Structure 1
Amino acid sequence: MDDRVFMADVARVLGVSRPRVWQLRKRDDFPEPAGRDGGRDYYYETAILRWAAQAGRDLQGRAPLLFQRPVEEQASRFQNALVSSGNTVLIWDTSLGRLGLIYPSYAASGLPDQRLVRRVLEDTRQLDAAVVVRDGYDAFGPELIAVDAQTPDREYSPNWEDLAEIFGSPVPWWPTALRKPKEVMRWRPGAKQVTSAPLNDVDVDVFSNAALDEPADSPIARTLTAFTREMRRGSRRLCEHDVALVSECLACRNGHLQVAARPIQADDTEVGVPDVVRRAAWIEMLKRKDTTARDCVREMIAWNGGQDFPYAAITSINPQEDKSAAEWVASLEQGDSEMAAYALFDDADQALAHLVDPRTDVPVVQFDDEDEPYKVAAPICLPARSALREIILGANNSIWIRTEDGELYPAPHRWGAGLSYGYSGGGPSNLAILLEHLLDDITAAAPVGNEEFNRNLLALIAKDWPTGTALTRAHLTSALKGQL
């Protein structure tokens, strides 16, 4: 907390009158101004509150609990550990009151700190103050945010030296990926550093269990095993980076913080799996009808948007507003709602119908929704047998591809690299890249969104075209050559 406060604000912070503030300022131990702004001295609120904690009984009560100094004759005692809303809390009885040190769960990292502390204070109803260990770092160590039970609306930042002095011993710290409640709860003062396997950003057990049910040399087993190893390797390296960073911080070097756990060492040999094998594995998984396959699909979508899937990006179409959409929907066939492919849609269980495009195999779901009656998983590439004849600019930025043999397809695109037209931006740029590829090879894969694009082609796409406009191969080729 580094809010600037002027003298009038200092009076509010300390709960005294302005004349009294000017008297206090004359004391030799009063903080020096942090700087001047508009001809006035200003201070940092933290410095004022830390000073108040040592400035006498009449001012001490205005200071946050963890800025105050413990009574030397009353030793602190570690009380117990508990889990509150999935977060592990270590509790000490001290001369200042009962204090809790919160280690957010791996899943809760990123939750607003004050909200998390308040939740713990409300859940336990036994703490006088609680402090949460944040994910961020500075030169002094991992950042801390505290809240006192008596002033729940005030957030402040103690440091590790404060905690070590109050607790009477170095304070334990766990890397975020090693905060397993059962292991943290086994900690006691003086405990040795433990070695543990880090948690992962995805549920790797889903993938490893699926791989175990397959022949060892199958595309699915090879792909999922390699992905699991990749995830675990990444988690371990990130954890090692955090431990190395904290081990060099001032709080650790000065003995106020101790690293309670470090990641286990393991074989980090990378196992490469060819693209064709990975894609074959996911084509098979998406057609399966078991819960394991659906769980794998959901986890992979959450991780990277299904970058190895033959389709992944979700788009909406409305046949009532788009003639091309109506033509394409009329060609769809009934699909099996149990297929893992439908796990791509968060709300597939509420669909009126589960459909599939017989040419691209992309899944489609229909809803009772006037604005977005159909959701489609766009293909990564087209199984077309003839060259591009035209593109059709549909409603709501939908793009359709017509080939020389008359077949109609939704335009290929990837998750995070959508297509659009009618302006100069990311979506039209992606479309320009795609069209340049399709003009050369109709089976080309959708761009990832970071390639160079032809500016003349983009200028054509960026025009304010009416819905349903068809741009022929001749139009696109002329634009590509700068002849329009």
Structure 2
Amino acid sequence: MGVSSTYLSKAEVQDLLGVSSFGMWRLPRQHGDFPAPVENPYRSGPLSPQDEEPVWDGTTLYEWAAATPAFQHRGALLDRPLPGQRQPGRHLGYRNTPCGPATDWATAIGVIRMLHTTKEKTASAMATALADAGNREIVTVCALYGDLGHTGPALVAADTAQPRIEYEARWGQVAELTGHSLPWWPSQLRRPEVIRLWAPGAPAVVADVPTDDRERTLRRAAENPAFSKTARTALTAMADAIRNGRVENVASEIKIFSDHSDRLQTKLVIAARHDNTAHPIDVEDDEEVLEAGWREIVASTQPDAVAAANLALGYRPKLLPYGHFTDVRARAGNAADQWARRLTICDPTAGHATLAEGADVDAFFIDPLTDMPVVRTKSDGDKSAKWLFYAPLSLPAGRGELASVVLDDTVWITTTDGQIHPAPCTSGEHLWWGDGWGDRPTEAAHVINQLLDDLAAPIGLDGHWSKAPAGLTRLLNKDHGHGTNLTRATLLHARMTPPDPHH
């Protein structure tokens, strides 16, 4: 979240500052720090210099006015000096608003509404709604910026007198006006049913960290009797890990804000803490069990499996039996066309569904040698069909040696038994060649280096930037044309070439 931008025309600046056209002309002459006009980002088309209407950044102008004695009374309310001899403010209680949960505070300058949300533009939206409703009490609305400032959590403010303009406010300034340490809730406990329980002087509310959609999806799938015990264990383990992470995030957030407040003596009170009685959950961590469970899940046709597989791809893709997602054009005679001749048409599984998401699918296939799911999309006008697939994590054993590497949309491996495969790759990397504007194709060089020695080697890419042979990297760094075939002899010769002493 941040302060939203507002741009003011010359007439709007005059209205804000209460000056005439002549007074506007005099402002930069009387005040050397008067903000200059800015480029209008909403200009619809080019205008001549004579016709271009100048605009000013509303936040900059509003903050300038608050710091300028002659216009202080028209500037940002919470940037003005604090009123003297003021009485302590009062907590007016919880408010449920269309912009999120809020607490109101009566102060010497009027009622300040604190919105406990980091959603963008909510301060301005709330202030605008109050102004439109004829509000006469609430003078400013503050929302959370989502970060820390020097005097506490950073705030975004919008005054009901100028609700369009948002500006940064200081937690300490608001606390001085209220006369209280202000309550702060961790993001996952920032809920109406929790916030409404707080009052000044009350202990922190202990509340459950809510489950999120990911955890609910995984636990629902884990209850599906169609899955084996191993698959259910894998689903439960991921749900438990997500649960632990959410609780740990709340604890970390509380520690960060508490430590910051203690160090700088900010006026902040932690208003809610998480219920930690059942945490952390012991999570199954046997990689063989988890990988076996996910192999079953991605091969399933259950709708629960599709939802779970999509989650796993985003949360912990290394548990799935898939390498990097790849898409190539379906063109007659290219490497993908040769490979596709051995594909077998099949019914879609969860693995196919993750590939096909959002695509106009023509058919589903499986590679009988690697068990990788494959999707072919339909042609669309001048756009040819595509093959969508995951790179295998390894190539099948007992299939001869690497015969050549074909560079055609991606890296392909041909073998001495006449087969062609997408080059194996891990889920977190990708294979490419050519000049990378300073980046070198060490991933592809490292994979090819391993396959030259053992075609069925499980591919690892840790430290590829230092382990890839310099000669292979240099060969792949060239801008080879699509369809280039690098023979085994060429690759072995490149691997044996010593590093260039000038690089």
Equivalent in the alignment of 2:482: 467
Cα distance, 1:185 vs structure 2? 4.1
Q: In the TM superposition, what whole-angstrom CA distance separates every residue of 1:320-359 from its partner, at most 9, and x where no partner exists?
A: 166211112232222323x211332363563222222222
Q: In the TM superposition, what whole-angstrom CA distance separates every residue of 1:43-86 from its partner, at most 9, and x where no partner exists?
A: x999866555xx5xx6333221233547946954525432546x
| Structure 1 residues 344-383: aligned runs within 5 Å | 344-345=354-355, 347-348=357-358, 350-365=360-375, 366-369=377-380, 370-371=383-384, 373-383=386-396
| Structure 1 residues 334-353: aligned runs within 5 Å | 334-337=345-348, 339-345=349-355, 347-348=357-358, 350-353=360-363
Does 2:343 match 1:328? no
Q: State the alpha-carbon separation in 2 of the partners of residues 173 and 213 from structure 1.
A: 40
| Cα 1:385/1:81, change in 2 over 3 Å | farther
Kindly indicate whether the alpha-carbon contact (under 8 Å) linking 2:62 and 2:75 is maintained by their aligned counterparts in 1.
no
| Cα 1:279/1:88, change in 2 over 3 Å | same
Cα distance, 1:458 vs structure 2? 0.4
Q: In the TM superposition, what whole-angstrom CA distance separates every residue of 1:366-400 from its partner, at most 9, and x where no partner exists?
A: 2334255222222222234224323433433x111
| Structure 1 residues 230-379: aligned runs within 5 Å | 230-250=241-261, 254=265, 256-265=267-276, 266-268=278-280, 271-304=283-316, 306-311=317-322, 313-320=324-331, 323-337=334-348, 339-345=349-355, 347-348=357-358, 350-365=360-375, 366-369=377-380, 370-371=383-384, 373-379=386-392
Q: State the alpha-carbon separation in 2 of the partners of residues 298 and 281 from structure 1.
A: 15
Q: State the alpha-carbon separation in 2 of the partners of residues 170 and 464 from structure 1.
A: 63
Where 2:301 maps in the other structure, the secondary structure is coil
The partner residue of 1:457 within 472, 475, 491 is: 472
Q: In the TM superposition, what whole-angstrom CA distance separates every residue of 1:157-190 from its partner, at most 9, and x where no partner exists?
A: 2222222233443221112233234323444444
Q: In the TM superposition, what whole-angstrom CA distance separates every residue of 1:194-232 from its partner, at most 9, and x where no partner exists?
A: 223435777222223333446999322332333333323
Gaps of 5+ in 1: 3-10, 23-43
Where 1:422 maps in the other structure, the secondary structure is coil
- What is the identity percentage for the equivalent residue pairs of Structure 1 and Structure 2? 24
| Structure 1 residues 51-130: aligned runs within 5 Å | 51=67, 59-68=71-80, 69=82, 72=86, 75-78=89-92, 80-82=94-96, 84=98, 87-92=100-105, 96-97=109-110, 99-104=112-117, 113=120, 115-121=121-127, 128-130=139-141
Equivalent in the alignment of 1:480: 495
Q: State the alpha-carbon separation in 2 of the partners of residues 140 and 74 from structure 1.
A: 19
The partner residue of 1:140 within 151, 158, 169 is: 151
| Cα 1:368/1:340, change in 2 over 3 Å | same
| Cα 1:73/1:91, change in 2 over 3 Å | closer
Q: State the alpha-carbon separation in 1 of the partners of residues 200 and 448 from structure 2.
A: 64
Kindly indicate whether the alpha-carbon contact (under 8 Å) linking 2:66 and 2:77 is maintained by their aligned counterparts in 1.
no
Q: State the alpha-carbon separation in 2 of the partners of residues 341 and 123 from structure 1.
A: 48
| Cα 1:372/1:352, change in 2 over 3 Å | closer
Where 1:157 maps in the other structure, the secondary structure is strand
Where 2:324 maps in the other structure, the secondary structure is strand
Kindly indicate whether the alpha-carbon contact (under 8 Å) linking 1:310 and 1:381 is maintained by their aligned counterparts in 2.
no
Equivalent in the alignment of 2:230: 219
Q: What is the number of equivalent residue pairs in this alignment?
A: 441
Does 2:421 match 1:409? yes
Q: State the alpha-carbon separation in 1 of the partners of residues 150 and 225 from structure 2.
A: 49
CA RMSD after TM alignment: 3.8
Q: State the alpha-carbon separation in 2 of the partners of residues 46 and 252 from structure 1.
A: 31
**TM-score (norm. length: structure 1):** 0.78
Does 2:399 match 1:399? no
